[in-house]
Amino acid sequence: MQIETLSQTKNHNIKKLKYCVYINLIQLKSKTNNFIFLKHNMPFAYNVYQLLKVVLKYRY
């Protein structure tokens, strides 16, 4: 029986969340074709996107 520690669970959930946000943003980008819409209507999501862009750039 495998028991995840709290930090493992937290990391796993963060990874899942990042993945979900990223997928949603890709779908949104393909719909709007630019991020002007996102920047004006959802500044938080736009900031998350910018952050993910940096994270993904250095990670892969």
Domain count, the chain: 1
In a domain, 1, yes or no: no
Task: 19-23: list long-range contacts, CB under 8 Å, 24+ apart.
Answer: 21/45, 21/48, 21/49, 21/52, 22/52, 22/56
In a domain, 48, yes or no: yes
User: What is this structure's pTM?
Assistant: 0.31
In a domain, 39, yes or no: yes
Supply the range of the domain harboring residue 37.
9-59
How do the pLDDT tens digits run along the chain, 60 residues long? 556 566 777 777 777 777 777 777 766 666 555 555 556 666 677 777 777 777 777 765
